[in-house]
Amino acid sequence: MSDDKHLPIDVLRHSAAHLLAHAVLDLYPGTKTGIGPAVETGFYYDFLRDEPFTPADLEAIEKRMKEIAREDVPIERRVLGKDEAMRLFEEQGQPLKVELIREKGDATVTVYGQGPFADFCLGPHVASTGLLAHVKLLSVSGAYWKGDERGAQMQRIYGAVFPTAKELEDHLRMLEEAKKRDHRRLGTDLDLFSSNDELGGGLILWHPKGARVRAVIEQHWRERHWAGGYDILYTPHIGRATLWQTSGHLGFYKDSMYSPMDIDEQPYYLKPMNCPFHIEIYKSRMRSYRDLPLRWAELGTVYRYERSGTLHGLLRVRGFTQDDAHIICTPDQIEAEILRVLDFSVSILADFGFTDNKIELSVRDPKNPGKYCGADDLWCRAEASLVKALETRGYPYERKEGEAVFYGPKIDIKIKDAIGRLWQCTTIQFDFNMSERFDMTYVGEDGKEHRPYMVHRALLGSLERFFGVLIEHYNGSFPLWLAPVQALVLPIAERHEAYAKSLEGRLREAGLRAEVDLSREKVGKKIRTAELQKVPLILVVGDKEVERGTAALRVHGQGDKGEVDVARFLGQAQELVKNKSNTVNF
Ligand SMILES: [Zn+2]
Ligand SMILES: [Zn+2]
């Protein structure tokens, strides 16, 4: 291959999946192969085999993969007739491949071969296995054939591959770091949240300390929204089936909704989205062009079905609170509104310490305009307003042709965390479907009824997921303004407790989340506990501090800062909170 340097990473990953299957069949003949796609972080392959793959097996497989890579076996594409291809995999003892080819139904299929190994897929692949040397197998877990819980139980082996050794090493280091800061572990260690089977998977319990962080996030979110020209709404958790029929959810979103409940012989559904409620508020009265734009936000708790196997801590849950908003405006306002919502989103993400973003613009597939709802001129104007906003601000973005959903184009913002991972957060999404379905109108300057633009916007995404990202980004050491306990007062001995309590009172009066440690532990132990709990400010008080009305300050991660005047300390702490500083300087 002439252009190896610019090899798409997905081609490399999918080729590594073939290499994995090749090695498995070399070492464990008789194993049945399922599918082996590239995924966002690497690749996997599903295998059907009675014995479980052990960590030692994974090592042996990886070793074999590297051997085949060193042999630099050419990878060849062949086009076979459907029957011929089915015969080939029949002979190879691969019934799952035969099943896939049978279902696929095309007269000819492509088969990629390397040495004795062959796989049925569309490709493309790298030219030879020599390009796959920097590969690492990571884990094995269970999966179902075709994702169907009644289907065969497969073993899914995950791996990562990179063009260079350096990139692979960096990635493995990042994975190690990610493991250390796993929000599920920190959630338990720092007593932030939990979830359990008794309660039901994917449902989150916010413990007092996690709830404090959430309350700070929500308060900041509300203040910024009011200042940013938004109004805040509250809407119910359930709605009649008729509402979800009108919105179209019972048509195209039913699989993600929970079974209805019967209220006065009427079916009601838990809400998977807030939009229909906001539209009902819009429609509660006649709207004029003079009322627009409307910017309505809600911290709306929604419920969506997720397969139990996909649930993951705070990141993938069944009940979550979206920081939702809908912007409803006239066509003339759309450009200014999109720029405004883009600025607003970027600015709020920055408040939480996320300044390195990746922006994606998803637009229509120009070759397939029939796939989308909404008039052509509406789409053109909407897409143009998104492009204009991005270009006005000079943000680099990736244009994704044909990635728009059927009801409108969108901008997605992914934030980059402290260890370089990207997380999808903000979405700014036009909707030409619901405005039609609900027949939303406003009376224009001409006295006639017009269709407004409607834009959905989730900024942090969901509070649960965003909290999970925050925990991992900060490794549990939240900046002062977000920390659940900002300051902890540690009396050295019992005789210092009264002073410690009065100091705690002063801190609380100054608006700081302060606590006092009245345990009968030695002060050294108390300090270690506070450090493990990642409390940003620790105030130790003993004889000298009581006598002089001061405190000895320790800053998390920085150690002893010496004696401080309490009034001055309070002023500085308040300033750090107000500025949302990421670092604590005293
Ligand atoms: Zn393939
Ligand atoms: Zn919406």
Ligand nearest to the CA of 33: 1
Ligand 1 center to residue 296 CA distance, Å?
47
pLDDT of residue 301: 98
Ligand 1 center to residue 151 CA distance, Å?
23
How do beta strands 487-491 and 514-516 pair?
A: parallel
299 φ, ψ (degrees, to nearest 5): -90, 90
Predicted confidence (pLDDT) per residue in 433-477, tens digit: 999 999 999 999 999 999 999 999 999 999 999 999 999 999 999
Q: How confident is the model at residue 6 (pLDDT cuts 50, 70, 90)?
A: low
68 pLDDT exceeds 80? Answer: yes
Ligand nearest to the CA of 325: 2
Predicted confidence (pLDDT) per residue in 374-390, tens digit: 888 889 999 999 999 99
Q: Which residues are catalytic?
A: 275, 304, 322, 324, 326, 410, 456
For the record, the structure tokens of 111 come out as 């088969």
The rounded mean pLDDT for the chain is 94
CB 318 within 8 A of CB 311: yes
| Greater pLDDT, 373 or 126 | 126
429 pLDDT exceeds 70? Answer: yes
Ligand nearest to the CA of 233: 2
How do beta strands 449-450 and 42-48 pair?
A: unpaired
Ligand 1 center to residue 83 CA distance, Å?
19
Q: How confident is the model at residue 123 (pLDDT cuts 50, 70, 90)?
A: confident
pTM of this structure: 0.88
Ligand 2 center to residue 429 CA distance, Å?
8
Predicted confidence (pLDDT) per residue in 265-276, tens digit: 999 999 999 999
Can you tell me the distance from the alpha carbon of 506 to that of 494, in angstroms, rounded to the nearest whole number?
20
371 pLDDT exceeds 80? Answer: yes
Predicted confidence (pLDDT) per residue in 485-523, tens digit: 999 999 999 999 999 999 999 999 999 999 999 999 999
Lowest average pLDDT, out of 100-109, 153-162, 234-243, 457-466, goes to 100-109
Predicted confidence (pLDDT) per residue in 319-346, tens digit: 999 999 999 999 999 999 999 999 999 9
62 pLDDT exceeds 90? Answer: yes
Q: Which residues of 473-506 are buried (b: 16+ CB within 10 A; e: fewer)?
A: bbebbbbbbbbbbbbbbbbbeeebbebbeebbeb
Q: How confident is the model at residue 4 (pLDDT cuts 50, 70, 90)?
A: very low
Can you tell me the distance from the alpha carbon of 284 to that of 278, in angstroms, rounded to the nearest whole number?
10
pLDDT of residue 545: 97
- Tell me what the mean pLDDT of segment 81-96 comes to: 94
For the record, the structure tokens of 506 come out as 């002063």
Ligand 1 center to residue 552 CA distance, Å?
64
Going by the DSSP 8-state scheme, the letter that residue 265 receives in this structure is T
**End-to-end CA gap in the chain:** 58
Ligand nearest to the CA of 11: 1
CB 582 within 8 A of CB 557: no
Ligand 1 center to residue 443 CA distance, Å?
56
Residues 6 or more apart whose CB falls under 8 angstroms from that of 505 comprise none
Predicted confidence (pLDDT) per residue in 200-245, tens digit: 999 999 999 999 999 999 999 999 999 999 999 999 999 999 999 9
